[in-house]
């Protein structure tokens, strides 16, 4: 808990990933253990009253665990580690929420509750509210979470009319995108196709890469974030419903926080689609907006006491996946904090901590960058970390400073 009894501290992280190389490295003696990933983050989160992150994977028993680059599924022990680290709510409205279909999504929500956490952005039934109200003391906080899509162009899992309201969407699932290599007509038949692709990616492709010294990269294809280009079809009807739901949530709470999953992956700047979506949502009665999906840190904008963040980056991401982008600092992210006054029920200030994900033979460990810099003995590594600390600071704040004081927590 924050040491001021009159203040509530809520913390946010970006996309919580569990890609195949990390999943594989987490398995020892037939069991998966993710505890050490969040060991150093846990010490920091102990000072927060409530912690929110975006769960970028289903947690289900359908079709096995992750076996390709673009469709995830993760053991329940992942949730145990997140709960032990201090997480209270996981947003489930993202492009991977249907990686195991609607049944996988239902299992995910039930498993989140099983481990003593809440979810937001998806629903178990059509009667369930499309937002969550959490109460800390006398302060009611609404969490509204929406996603730009569900990777329909990749998994071809289309929600039927009865299930459509179970995922908070800002546009229709169907898009004009055509993924390279992958073409699927049926969700279950594609399982066998993916097994073949899995063998190619993790066994044959590395050998080819070494022989011809070439890195197969489809990342450029999926970075588009421009209106009406492929995946990014601006849908006024869906946006209107999203704004109406957000205003309803605001009428039932003291503070409204919007969690948006949208953007071009590894883009330094948000594109026209996400920018227009955020402009539309900004017309709703929100107090802050937290963006995820681009896999890298993007800018934040403060409007009076309202904070808009376009992307917090990936909390943990594998450097061994072929689409990883080191130049864009994909292994750095933001832990965002909002401090709320219990009496006025208003947000007093925002701060952030810069995080670094370290890949140790496939296993991922998240550190506050401040701690890494303090304990680093190599002068070269220390300077590199300090330079990247400044780069992330400038990207997130929109400033262009030449140097800054090293801090665990920076004010916005």
pLDDT tens for each residue of 79-88:
999 999 999 9
Mean local confidence (pLDDT), 192-211: 54
Residue 334's CATH number: 3.60.21.10
Is there a domain that residue 1 lies in?
Answer: no
Q: What is the mean pLDDT of residues 67-85?
A: 94
237-283 confidence digits (pLDDT tens): 999 999 999 999 999 999 999 999 999 989 999 999 999 999 999 99
pLDDT above 70 for 391: yes
Q: Which of 214-223, 232-241, 376-385 has the lowest mean pLDDT?
A: 214-223
Backbone phi, psi, residue 55, to 5°: -85, 105
Q: Dump pLDDT digits (tens) for 143-195.
A: 999 999 999 888 889 999 999 999 999 999 975 554 433 333 444 445 555 55
Confidence of residue 232 (pLDDT cuts 50, 70, 90): confident
Three-state SS across the chain?
Answer: CCCCCCEEEEEEEEEECCCHHHHHHCEECCEECCHHHHHHHHHHHCCCCEEEEEECCCCCCCCCCCCCCCCCCCCCHHHHHHHHHCCCEEECCCCCCCCCHHHHHHHHHHHHHHCCCEEECECCCCCCCCCEEEEECCEEEEEEEEECCCCHHHHCCCCCCCCHHHECECCCCCCCCCCCCCCCCCCCCHHHHHHHHHHHHHHHHHHHHHHHCCCCCCHHHHCCCCCCECCECCCHHHHHHHHHHHHHHHHCCCEEEEEEECCCCCCCCCCHHHHHHHHHHCCCCCCEEEEECCCCECCEEEECCEEEECCECEEECCCCCCCCCCCCCCCEEEEEEEEEECCCCEEEEEEEEEEEEEEECCEEEEEEHHHHHHHCCCHHHHHHHHHHHHHHHHHHHCCCCCCCCCCCCEEC
230 found inside a domain: yes
Cβ neighbours, 10 Å, residue 225: 25
pLDDT-based confidence at 223, cuts 50/70/90? low
Let me know if residue 95 belongs to a domain.
Answer: yes
The torsion region of residue 383 among left (phi > 0), alpha (psi -120 to 50) and beta comes to alpha
CB proximity list for 87: less than 8 A, separation 6 or greater: 45, 51, 52, 53, 117
* Number of independent structural domains in the chain: 1
Q: List the domain range (segments joined by +) for residue 239.
A: 7-411
The answer to whether residue 2 sits within a structural domain is no
pLDDT tier, 33 (very low <50, low <70, confident <90, very high otherwise): very high
What per-residue confidence (pLDDT) applies to 27? 97
Residue 254 lies in a domain: yes
Most confident of 198-202, 210-214, 309-313: 309-313
């Amino acid at each position: 808990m924050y040491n001021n009894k009159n203040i509530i501290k809520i913390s946010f992280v970006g996309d919580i990933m569990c890609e195949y190389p990390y999943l594989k490295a987490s398995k020892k003696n037939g069991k998966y253990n993710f505890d050490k990933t969040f060991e150093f983050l846990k010490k920091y989160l102990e000072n927060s009253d409530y912690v929110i992150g975006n769960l970028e994977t289903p947690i289900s028993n359908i079709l096995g665990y992750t076996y390709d680059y673009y469709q995830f599924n993760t053991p329940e022990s992942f949730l145990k580690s997140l709960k032990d680290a201090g997480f209270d709510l996981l947003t489930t409205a993202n492009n991977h929420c249907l990686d195991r279909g609607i049944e996988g999504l239902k299992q995910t929500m039930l498993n989140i509750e099983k481990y003593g956490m809440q979810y937001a952005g998806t629903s178990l039934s059509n009667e369930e509210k499309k937002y969550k109200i959490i109460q800390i003391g006398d302060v009611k906080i609404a969490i509204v979470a929406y996603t730009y899509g569900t990777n329909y162009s990749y998994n071809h899992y289309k929600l039927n009319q009865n299930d459509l309201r179970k995922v908070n969407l800002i546009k229709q699932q169907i898009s004009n995108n055509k993924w390279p290599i992958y073409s699927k007509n049926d969700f279950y038949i594609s399982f066998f196709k993916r097994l073949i692709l899995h063998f190619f990616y993790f066994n044959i492709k590395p050998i080819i890469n070494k022989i011809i010294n070439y890195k197969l990269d489809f990342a450029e294809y999926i970075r588009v974030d421009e209106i009406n280009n492929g995946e990014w079809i601006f849908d006024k009807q869906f946006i209107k419903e999203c704004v109406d739901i957000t205003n309803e949530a605001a009428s039932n709470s003291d503070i409204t926080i919007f969690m948006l999953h949208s953007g071009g992956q590894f883009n330094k700047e948000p594109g026209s689609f996400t920018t227009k979506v955020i402009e539309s949502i900004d017309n709703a009665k929100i107090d802050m907006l937290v963006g995820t999906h681009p896999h890298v840190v993007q800018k934040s904008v403060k409007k009076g006491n309202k904070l808009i963040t376009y992307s917090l980056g990936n909390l943990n991401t594998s450097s061994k996946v072929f689409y990883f982008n080191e130049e864009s600092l994909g292994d750095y992210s933001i832990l965002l904090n909002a401090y709320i006054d219990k009496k006025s029920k208003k947000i007093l200030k925002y701060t952030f901590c810069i995080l670094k994900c370290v890949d140790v033979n496939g296993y991922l460990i998240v550190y506050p960058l401040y701690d890494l810099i303090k304990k680093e003995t190599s002068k070269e590594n220390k300077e590199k970390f300090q330079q990247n600390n400044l780069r992330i600071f400038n990207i997130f704040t929109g400033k262009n400073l030449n140097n800054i004081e090293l801090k665990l927590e920076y004010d916005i």
